[in-house]
Structure 1
Amino acid sequence: MDRYQAMATFIRVVETGSFSAAARQLGVGQPAVSKTIAQLEAHLQVSLIVRSTHGLTPTEAGQNFYERARNAIQEADEAELAARGAGAGLSGRLRVSAATTFARLHIIPKLPRFMAEHPHLNVEIILDDRLIDLVAEGIDVSIRMGTLADSTAIARKIATGSRSVLATPTYLERAGIPRTPADLTNHDAIIYSQLPSVWSFTQNGAALSVSVSGRLKVSAAEGLRAAVLADMGLSIASDWMFAPELEAGTVVRVLEAWSLPSIDLWAVFPSGRMKTAKARLFADFVENLMSA
């Protein structure tokens, strides 16, 4: 029995709560996971997991072993990275989740550099605008924007960006340019369902909120981008979301004398799981991208 692999398998079983989920994340069959746990229990001569109709729960001994094994593997990963040196790079698999548009525009085009630095590392990027269960999905690090809903999340702020009211010149030529936030009530707003339809502005310390409306509501940032670029209306979005178009002038900012709340970019790590060297260095990579 490979003790290191057995510990890693046990950790994944505890964190996912089932043999089948652990097997999917590890890329092996469920019987292999069950056999590994049985061998580990036989080696330790103690029961690590209670199996019931409600799932798997670690015993007291299993919980103690999980916490120590998790720390041991994290230390081993860090020791291996230090021994290899920066030039040797990372190895294994890294699972990242990120918002679709942000990853497509800002992360994936820069990935060749990161992967060239770590030729033995396999990267899997799960593109999803929704918040997903990082532990259940086996995510090592998630790149998220906005306010973190989970106060228990292990997170690190890696960038702060601006929000603007954006539209195409074609739409503004047709509908007119809003001069104050109140003018937005006469415009077609493209509503992003993950954000409120009340837009809040500040100017010289004064706050103003405007309730906007429009015929189109979209559930994903890619849809909002497509609608704005199709001259269907204006919308609030992070400047990151329209970075190429803002640079090219095919999308422009309006109401620039008024400020909108900024948006934060976070690297979020699964609660209760070890923060791997791979996850930490990928977060560093994205942070460096956004500060360049």
Structure 2
Amino acid sequence: MDRYQAMVTFIRVVDAGSFSAAARQLGVGQPAVSKTVAQLEERLQVSLLIRSTHGLTPTEAGQNFYERARNAIQAADEAELAAKGTSAGLSGRLRVSAATTFARLHIIPELPRFLAEHPQLTVEIILDDRMIDLVAEGVDISLRMGTLADSTAIARKIATGGRSVLATPAYLKRVGTPRSPADLANHEAIIYSQLPNAWSFLREGAAASVSVNGRLRVSAAEGLRAAVLADMGLTITSDWMFAPELENGAVVRVLEAWSLPSIDLWAVFPAGRMITAKARHFADFVESIMKATTHLPV
């Protein structure tokens, strides 16, 4: 039995909560995972997991082994990377969670450079606009925008971006350009269902909050983009979501005299785990990307 791989497998089983979920994350069959854990228990002469209809729970011995094994794996990875030097590439698999549109526009086009620097690394990107359970999904790093709801999350701010009211020139030509937040009541708003309908603005210390109306509500940023680019209405969103169109003039900002709260991009890491070198390097990589995208036209 490979002790290192057995520890990795056991850690993944505890994090995922089941043999089947761990097997999917490791890319092996469930029988292989069950056999590895059984062999580990036989070697240690102790029961590591309590199996029930509700899933798997570590025993007291299993929890102690899990915590020490996790630290040992992390220390081994860090030691190997340090021994190879800063120019050494990363290896293994990196699971990343990110919002679909953000990843499509800003991350995936830059991935060839990251993969070229680390030819022994495999990257798996989970595209989902919703928040997911990082531990259950075996995610190493998640890219999230906005305010973090979980105060216990291990997070690092990567970038801060602007937010604007955006529309196509064709829509504004047809309906007119709003001159104040109050004018938005006369416009068709494309509403992103994951954000409140009330849009808040600030100008020279004066605040204005407007509840917008629209016949179209979408649950994902891809739908928001498609609707705006189809001249269906205006919306409020991060400039990151329309970076190509802001650059080529396909969409324009309105109400520029009024400021909107900025939006933060975070690298979020699974709670209860040490941050891997792979995850840290990827966060650095994304930060370098976002520094290059902050120079959007104004």
TM-score (norm. length: structure 1) = 0.98
Query: What is aligned with 1:151?
Result: 151
Distance 1:102 1:53 in 2: 39
Deviation at 1:145, TM superposition (A): 0.6
Deviation at 1:288, TM superposition (A): 1.1
Deviation at 1:87, TM superposition (A): 2.4
Query: What is aligned with 1:113?
Result: 113
Distance 1:266 1:137 in 2: 18
Aligned CA-pair RMSD: 0.9
Residue type matched to 2:233 in 1? G
Tell me the SS of whatever aligns to 2:264. strand
Q: Which consecutive unaligned segments of at least 5 residues does structure 2 have?
A: 293-298
Query: What is aligned with 1:255?
Result: 255
Is 1:237 the equivalent of 2:216?
Answer: no
Distance 2:49 2:142 in 1: 29
Query: What is aligned with 1:285?
Result: 285
Deviation at 1:272, TM superposition (A): 1.7
Identity of aligned residues (%): 84
Tell me the SS of whatever aligns to 1:122. strand
Distance 2:256 2:270 in 1: 38
Distance 2:284 2:115 in 1: 14
Q: Which moved more, 1:51-60 or 1:179-188?
A: 51-60
Is 1:88 the equivalent of 2:105?
Answer: no
Tell me the SS of whatever aligns to 1:281. helix
Tell me the SS of whatever aligns to 2:132. coil
Query: What is aligned with 1:268?
Result: 268
Distance 2:84 2:230 in 1: 50
Deviation per CA, 1:118-156: give whole Å up to 9, x if none: 001011111111111111111110111111111211111
Deviation at 1:217, TM superposition (A): 0.7
Residue type matched to 2:96 in 1? V
Query: What is aligned with 2:33?
Result: 33
Query: What is aligned with 1:5?
Result: 5
Q: Which consecutive unaligned segments of at least 5 residues does structure 1 have?
A: none
Distance 2:239 2:226 in 1: 15
The 5 Å alignment of 1:1-292 reads 1-292=1-292
Deviation at 1:275, TM superposition (A): 1.5
Distance 1:170 1:54 in 2: 56
Deviation per CA, 1:246-266: give whole Å up to 9, x if none: 011110000001011110000
Q: Which moved more, 1:84-93 or 1:16-25?
A: 84-93
Distance 1:120 1:261 in 2: 41
Contact 1:15 1:273 in 2 (8 A): no
Residue type matched to 1:107 in 2? I
TM-score (norm. length: structure 2) = 0.96
Distance 1:55 1:125 in 2: 26
Tell me the SS of whatever aligns to 2:142. strand
